[in-house]
């Protein structure tokens, strides 16, 4: 009984983490920008720790708001595709890293791991692309 419960809860936990990754994939670009701004400001001694964190949060929010505003207001297909790609590519990279990490938990070789990770990157990037393309201009 406990073995079955452990298997069910393990599968449910991995399923929840995958759902969370797909749900949050749209926010990979703002999170990346926030982390890079925070790290740059702190490493180059431009700001103290708390100020660098606040500047990173502000930069991430600004990227998200500008991306959503451009997608919600622009009717130009080239601009919409460009902004969607800029926001979806970091999500694909996050999906690649996540599935490569999951494949490292098993006993896979290097080539199947990278094939599996590439498939995961396509899935996560496609999910982010779909969510971003669902934003229709007003």
pLDDT tens-digit readout, 53-81: 999 999 999 998 998 888 888 888 888 88
Residues 6+ apart with CB under 8 A from 79: 70
Query: Is the predicted pLDDT of residue 108 greater than 90, yes or no?
Result: no
Residue 47 carries which DSSP code?
Answer: S
Residues 105-130: what's their mean pLDDT?
86
Supply the mean pLDDT for the chain: 86
Q: What integer pLDDT is reported at residue 14 of this predicted model?
A: 83
Q: Where are the beta strands (DSSP E) in 16-135?
A: none
Q: Is the pTM of this model over 0.95?
A: no
Helix, coil or strand: residue 116: helix
């Amino acid at each position: 009984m406990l073995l079955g419960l452990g298997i069910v809860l393990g599968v449910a936990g991995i399923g929840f983490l995958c759902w969370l990754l797909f749900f949050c994939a749209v926010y990979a670009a703002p999170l990346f920008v926030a982390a890079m701004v925070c790290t740059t400001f702190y490493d180059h001694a431009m700001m103290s720790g708390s100020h660098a964190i606040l500047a990173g949060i502000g930069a991430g929010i600004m990227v998200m708001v500008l991306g959503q505003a451009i997608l919600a207001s622009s009717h130009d297909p080239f601009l919409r595709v460009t902004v969607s790609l800029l926001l979806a590519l970091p999500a694909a990279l996050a999906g690649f890293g996540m599935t490569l990490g999951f494949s490292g938990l098993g006993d896979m070789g290097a080539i199947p791991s990278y094939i599996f990770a590439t498939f995961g990157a396509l899935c996560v990037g496609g999910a982010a692309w779909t969510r971003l393309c669902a934003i229709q201009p007003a």
